[in-house]
A and B are shown apart, each in its own frame.
Chain A
Amino acid sequence: MKSGLKSIYPLADQIPAEQLDREAALLRSLNTKPLHTRLLTFLQLGGPGFFGAALTLGAGTLTAAMLSGAQFGYKTLWISWVAIGSGLFMMAAMARFTTKGQLRIIEVQSKRHGFFVARILTAFVGIVCVALAFNFGQVALGTHLIESVASTAGFSFPQAWNWPLYGLITAWIALNYGRGGARGVIFVETFMKISLLIMLVCFTACLFVVGVDWSAAARGFFVPWLPRGADGIDLFIASSAAAVGVMDWMFFHYAGHAKGWGPTHEGLAKVDMFTGLALPFLLINFVVVSVFAATLFGSTNIPTSAPQLSAALVPLLGEKGAAFAFQIGFLAVPITTTVGMSIACAVGVHEMMGWDPDVKSWRWKLSILAPQIGLLAAFAPSPIFLIILIAAALSLSNNIVSWSLFLLLNDKEVLGANRSRSYFWNLGILVQITLLNGVAIMWVLNRFGLWN
């Protein structure tokens, strides 16, 4: 990239120095431009935030949103902004490490806090294991939805036959990442942006059909409410801590490096974090919770899995067009998450092993394709034991990784003058750390039968 110098992250090496210089000059000139011009430019240049939204809005988060709407109506809408709000402080730290820090964070973590915290807890458990285990759920949902879309369109395309299509599409998109310099990165980012837009438009169309109780929705969004007893505490801690985790933090950081972001990009990274991650997360959560609150809330025998919930909703939408829109919007959820997790898996494997990523190498391609083991979920039960084991390891390690990142953000020897100087920023991260501690502690209390 810059005048023959190696970039921090090899995926950005092919981006011409002039392009990055032009981008930096454009960002500097934005200070004098009107707000809408600034926002449009930020939307155009941003990308890692949208990736973050696509990763976060997977089968798990959407199932939780659907269940919330079906079980509690609009009452738990407020949790979504608490969850994403507390998560943004850590995302801002990741933006600092990428832009002004110019660090490959797992490498620095390894030097400052040891191999175990960096390579095992962060890269292996937090990224690689999550991508491998949680793609089973995405595939199960995605192939089920392809079958449902086909059925709504009047033909049969069962899961047992459509999984190669799901695998091919997701693998092809993910393998494009980083190819041809910035082009491959922009291609995948654009795919994520369009998919998020499809989700939003399709779910909003369903909301128009079922209607929304605006006063109940506003109350649910602004007035905190939880079910009584341990269930309420469980719901709050699990939902608020699970929105943004190790994989999201790390991917935001490395996706910024892949775009060649430098010190002048910090403002862009922060806006991307709001417009790309927080806004889509809030809007899509709001719409999904509202659709289920308006339809399934108050029903008995509410199903618990995403395919069952979507199957229960579709007849209630009435019109075929609305059912079709819901299925198409919902199909974008697992596809984007599988693509995001595949790329994150490759990044995680390379950081775990201390390898430089090279998109043309076999080890990069194999690492990207590894989560496709989840395709087995199309015709076999998901490996529940493995998923529980990895979820437990994640619950017990997410908080330790967050401690490490908080310490690095405040480490003079790592960031020098760019370390955190803000009491409020530190306090926000500490609140998220406390929520993540809560997840780990509740896991232990549950194992010893001391919770519930």
Chain B
Amino acid sequence: MILDRKIGPLKLRAWGLILNFFANGITLFGLSKVLQGQGGQTLLYVGIVFTVILLLGLAFPSRDDKELK
């Protein structure tokens, strides 16, 4: 399972959680700009898209190779 693969000090699933945090940050930063009328739509949409992709990807449970076969 790719999410269980270790890349550097962490598993890919842990890196995904960190990336999700940054995507959430971009979303809320974009939202704050939008609410203040200072643009920010692009940041908001990019953040939302990445958040959704990461949530949908990270939710896959880990399986054994045997189970996959």
Chain A interfacial positions (CB closer than 8 Å to B): 229-230, 233, 399, 403, 406-407, 410, 412, 419-424, 426-427, 430-431, 433-434, 437-438, 440-442, 445, 450-452
Choose among A419, A440, A441 the residue that contacts B62 (Cβ–Cβ < 8 A): A419
Q: Do residues A230 and B58 form an inter-chain contact, with CB atoms below 8 A?
A: no
Q: B residues within 8 Å of A by Cβ?
A: 3-4, 11, 13-14, 17, 20-21, 24-25, 28-29, 31-32, 35, 51, 55-56, 58-64
Chain B at the A interface: SS class: helix
B28-A431 in contact (CB<8A): no
Given known contacts A431-B55, A434-B20, A407 and B31 CB-to-CB distance under 8 angstroms: no
Identity of the chain B residue whose Cβ is nearest the Cβ of A426 in the assembled complex: B59
B58 touches A426 (CB 8 A): yes
Per the bound structure, the CA–CA distance linking A434 and B52 in Å amounts to 10
Classify the secondary structure of A's interface with B.
helix
CB pair B17–A441 under 8 Å, yes or no, is: no
Give bound CA distance, A423 to B56, whole Å. Answer: 9
- How many A-B pairs fall under 8 Å by CB? 70
List the 10 closest A-B pairs by CB distance, nearest first.
A426-B59, A427-B59, A437-B24, A403-B17, A430-B55, A441-B25, A441-B28, A421-B61, A420-B61, A451-B32
B59:A441 contact, CB within 8 angstroms? no
* Contact A423 to B59, CB < 8 A, known contacts A407-B14, A412-B4, A438-B24: yes
**Are B21 and A437 in contact, with the CB atoms below 8 A?**
yes
Inside 8 A of B64's CB, which chain A residues have their CB? 412
Docked CA distance A419–B67 (Å): 14
Interfacial chain B residues near A452, Cβ < 8 Å: 32
- A426–B20 alpha-carbon span in the complex (Å): 14
- What residue in chain A is nearest B62 (Cβ atoms)? A410
